[in-house]
Structure 1
Amino acid sequence: MSKKIMIVEDSALMRRVFSDIIKSDSSFEVVALCQNGKEAYEKLKADADEYDVVITDILMPIMTGIELLEKIQAEKIDVIPIVISSLIGDGSDTLEEIKALKLNSLEFLNKPSNFIEARGEEFSISVLQVLHSVLGLKRKSSRVSSVATAPKRTNTRTTNKVTRTGRKMTGGNKLVAIACSTGGPKALNQVVPYIDKNINAPVVIVQHMPVGFTEILANKLNDISAVHVKEAEHDEILQKGYVYIAPGGKQLRIEKIPGGHKVKLTDEPAVGGLKPCADLMYESLENSNYDQVLCVVLTGMGSDGTKGITRLGKTKNIYVVAQNEQTCVVYGMPKSIFLAGVVDEVLPLQDIGTAISKNVGVR
């Protein structure tokens, strides 16, 4: 039986684009097209059993996507929400509403910046793979609730270690730098909680998400992890045993200071529609005092991270871990860095957290 999808988007063009993509897969059926959150909410209240997934924009007239998510959360409506949004962010008026949400199973799709991109094969594949992923995890429970305990690891055993360059992480001053996009929030739930609390390095993450949602992600991961997880703040000094997530709507760079390094958040333009952009984060490390950088590339559409890591490898001792295809929601970013020929290990998602601790070491 096909899964029933509701699309909530004030742009008629985007409604048509999403509808055409979803209808191309017989696993899914588009059963409702709504112009705003109020229209969607009324349909959900009338018969929530008619819908499996709600794909919703954030900024809409009458009722925003955030207000719709609040209704779904408060009334425990049993649907899986997927947010469509520009990753650049708008510093939005809905920021406080976003922070108030207790989001758990929530995925993001980056809204294409133009019609050509919207009609492109990569975007179509991303939409369908996200739908297959979230529906494969569907449970009959509230999906916008907080998490109090660490997630269980999956038992998936697919491609194991693949060695390409023969490099090793040895002694010295180290940093872990992670890049991820579509499917990243779920992936980070299977990585960060398994990083040793005494890891001998700071961890910096660029996850493509809109303004406000990165703070929610950081808080949720902090609740279920042994390491300290937080949204990165401007000028804060990096500490071992801490995980810093780049804020949505900002570019993150690492800057060396006497005796250490600090976070530098900037309002630089988006790069390829991305703000934060992993390439900028990796490139900033070229001038750092880190002796070694463990670069980790997880699930995501596109190639963000490949250019920055490749450049970084020309000036720094790097070790590169990529998530394998079988456990990715979208095998884009890991594929790109693998094809660049600089990957040291290809690992299934459930092995990456412990691999980080093993390669970096503990205090």
Structure 2
Amino acid sequence: MEKIKVLIVDDSAFMRKLIQDFLSEHPKMNIIGTARNGEDAIKKIKELKPDVVTMDIEMPVMNGLEALKRIMKEHPVPVVMLSSTTKEGAENTILAVQYGAADFIAKPSGAISLDLHKVKEELIQKVLSASHANLKQLLKSHTNVKSTTISVRDYSKIEPRVFDTKISQSSSTIWNATQKKLICIGTSTGGPRALQHVITKLPKNLQAAVLVVQHMPAGFTKSLANRLDSLSEISVKEAEDGEIIKKGTVYIAPGGYHLKVINVGTSLAIKLDQTDARNGHRPSVDVMFESVSELRDYSKIAVIMTGMGADGSKGLVELKKHGAVKAIAESSETSIVFGMPKAAIATQLVDEVKNVESIAESILKYV
């Protein structure tokens, strides 16, 4: 078994040792070296040719952001950033993802996290996932991949997942062009850039609201919403409990909270809660999709984009069982990690498989 070669970059000797101890416990990992700052990291990457790099954002000499830009330009490799949960740390993390980081880990308590063990499993999983990341796509913050629709039949070799998917074609499940619409998007690893591709192409007068679940810890989703809002015509915000949902607005589930929808008179409102994580996620795409599936007066557009795991596929089954739904999955060609879209396609309930640049166009076609 060929092991994943990992380089650890952190200005703290304690943190370097801690991360090394955690990752070394996994049989698939081989720690090939450590670096003290960004400058040292670039030199070590050139010498050691790692498969994955873990890198702190806040470092002397050359910080993680500057180093990341150099790495992706000179010696591209999947990088998992380690970030503090401060406002500045969250904003820098969103920038790091734009610059090409495969993923990030939020340190539980500042620069030197004595309690890093709290995110040990997450760190291991994200390094494993990064080793399979689509490096070609990580290098394209503004990709020029040809915008195409890919026939779902082209994915016929994807093994179907076993679900009770007897979807009756009752009048309620047939697409109604005149019915009110609700757009629901789920994504994980690589999601911030995928969301930027999609949301920045939506008009401010969009005749539907957009609900988004992006797997992120508390504190980071607000920075993501603010960044997308600054780049988009449509209004983007972090969702708040109890607020009435309006057309022409994108609501991003806050880290640490499930996003659900409830009827309030003739309107819809956001319901946030901290019920148990689903498949390790809170917010969970499945939870959002299941909640939306209970709405009877809306046609829904469900989008599943890049991400590790299968979150969203069970929720898609519920959506398709209980109403008119058009489902769009991101293609393997543009996904950073083709886990969540692949699982959705395997339900055999996806209507279109699209490169990320074409997803907004497809959404607008149905709205």
TM range (shorter): 0.7 to 0.9
> Could you say which residue in structure 1 is the equivalent of 2:159?
none
1:294/1:214 Cα in 2 relative to 1: closer, same or farther (>3 Å)? same
Residues 94-130 of structure 1: per-residue CA shift (max 9 Å, x gap): 344434537323242579999999888xx77622133
Q: Give the 5 Å matches for 1:128-143.
A: 128-130=131-133, 132-133=135-136, 136-137=139-140
> Could you say which residue in structure 1 is the equivalent of 2:337?
330
1:72 and 2:102 aligned: no
Q: Give the 5 Å matches for 1:76-225.
A: 78-79=70-71, 82-83=80-81, 94-99=85-90, 101=92, 103-106=94-97, 107-108=102-103, 126-130=129-133, 132-133=135-136, 136-137=139-140, 152=142, 154-157=144-147, 160-162=150-152, 168=175, 170-225=177-232
Residues 115-151 of structure 1: per-residue CA shift (max 9 Å, x gap): 999888xx776221337257634xxxxxxxxxxxxx7
- The whole-number CA distance in structure 2 between the counterparts of 1:303 and 1:110 is 20
> Could you say which residue in structure 1 is the equivalent of 2:38?
44
Letter in 1 for 2:8: M
> Could you say which residue in structure 2 is the equivalent of 1:230?
237
- TM normalised by structure 2 equals 0.73
- The whole-number CA distance in structure 2 between the counterparts of 1:179 and 1:6 is 30
SS of the aligned residue for 1:217 comes to helix
The gaps in structure 2 that reach 5 residues or longer are: 11-15, 47-51, 73-78, 107-116, 157-166
SS of the aligned residue for 1:83 comes to strand
**Count of aligned positions:** 314
Pairwise CA distance, 1:44: 2.9
- The whole-number CA distance in structure 2 between the counterparts of 1:105 and 1:116 is 22
- The whole-number CA distance in structure 2 between the counterparts of 1:321 and 1:100 is 29
Higher mean displacement: 290-299 or 7-16: 7-16
SS of the aligned residue for 1:32 comes to strand
The gaps in structure 1 that reach 5 residues or longer are: 24-29, 34-39, 57-64, 86-92, 138-150
- The whole-number CA distance in structure 2 between the counterparts of 1:131 and 1:286 is 32
Give aligned-pair identity as a percent: 30
- The whole-number CA distance in structure 1 between the counterparts of 2:241 and 2:187 is 21
Pairwise CA distance, 1:74: 8.1
1:79/1:116 Cα in 2 relative to 1: closer, same or farther (>3 Å)? closer
1:96/1:43 Cα in 2 relative to 1: closer, same or farther (>3 Å)? closer
- The whole-number CA distance in structure 2 between the counterparts of 1:224 and 1:357 is 19
* Two-structure CA RMSD over aligned residues (Å): 3.7
> Could you say which residue in structure 1 is the equivalent of 2:33?
32
- TM normalised by structure 1 equals 0.73
> Could you say which residue in structure 1 is the equivalent of 2:264?
257
> Could you say which residue in structure 2 is the equivalent of 1:287?
294
Residues 286-335 of structure 1: per-residue CA shift (max 9 Å, x gap): 33254211000101111111111211221121111111111111111111
> Could you say which residue in structure 1 is the equivalent of 2:163?
none
- The whole-number CA distance in structure 1 between the counterparts of 2:209 and 2:230 is 18
